[in-house]
Amino acid sequence: MPRVAVVAGLAGLVLLTVLVAASLGPVATSPGTVLLVLLEPARPAFDAIGLGLPVAEPVHASLVATIRLPRVLLAALTGAALACAGAVMQAVFRNPLAEPGITGVSSGAACAAVLLIVTGVAQATPWALPVGAFAGALAAVAVVQGVAGITRPGSAGTLLLVGIALNALLGAVIAAAIANAPDAEDVQRATFWLNGDLTAATWADVLLIVVPVLLGLAALLCLTRELNLMVLSEEAAAATGVNTTMVRHVGLGIAALITAACVSVTGVISFVGLVVPHLVRLVIGPDHRRLLPVSIAVGAVFLALADLGARLLFSPVVLQTGVVTAVIGAPVLLALVMRRSAAVPR
DSSP 20-77: HHHH-SSS---HHHHHHHHHGGGHHHHHHTT-PPPPPPHHHHHHIIIIIHHHHHHHHH
Nearest to 54, CA basis, from 39, 71, 70? 39
* Rounded Cα–Cα distance for residues 159 and 74 (Å): 30
pLDDT digits (tens, 9 = 90+) for 280-332: 998 898 899 999 999 999 999 999 999 999 988 887 777 889 889 999 888 88
pLDDT at 83: 95
Residue 274 or residue 101, greater confidence? 274
pLDDT digits (tens, 9 = 90+) for 105-123: 888 888 998 998 888 887 7
Under 8 Å between Cβ of 113 and 136: yes
Whether residue 33 is predicted with pLDDT greater than 80 in this model: the reply is: yes
The proportion of the chain whose per-residue pLDDT surpasses 70, expressed as a percent, equals 94
> Rounded mean pLDDT of 158-174?
86
- pTM exceeds 0.85 for this model: yes
pLDDT at 141: 83
What is the number of structural domains in the chain?
1
pLDDT at 320: 87
Model confidence band, residue 61 (pLDDT cutoffs 50, 70, 90): confident
> Rounded mean pLDDT of 14-21?
93
Nearest to 104, CA basis, from 160, 180, 21? 160
pLDDT at 249: 82
Full residue range of the structural domain in which residue 175 is found: 3-343
Measure CA of the first residue to CA of the last residue in the chain; give whole Å. Answer: 40
Model confidence band, residue 340 (pLDDT cutoffs 50, 70, 90): low
Which range has the top average pLDDT, 21-30, 52-61, 283-292?
283-292
Whether residue 22 is predicted with pLDDT greater than 80 in this model: the reply is: yes
The proportion of the chain whose per-residue pLDDT surpasses 90, expressed as a percent, equals 26
pLDDT at 155: 62
> Rounded mean pLDDT of 241-266?
86
Per-residue CA distances from 288 to 89, 293, 317, 323 (Å): 12, 8, 40, 29
pLDDT at 25: 83
pLDDT at 93: 83
CATH of residue 332's domain is: 1.10.3470.10
> Rounded mean pLDDT of 5-23?
89
Whether residue 345 is predicted with pLDDT greater than 60 in this model: the reply is: no
Residue 5 or residue 220, greater confidence? 220
* Rounded Cα–Cα distance for residues 105 and 137 (Å): 4
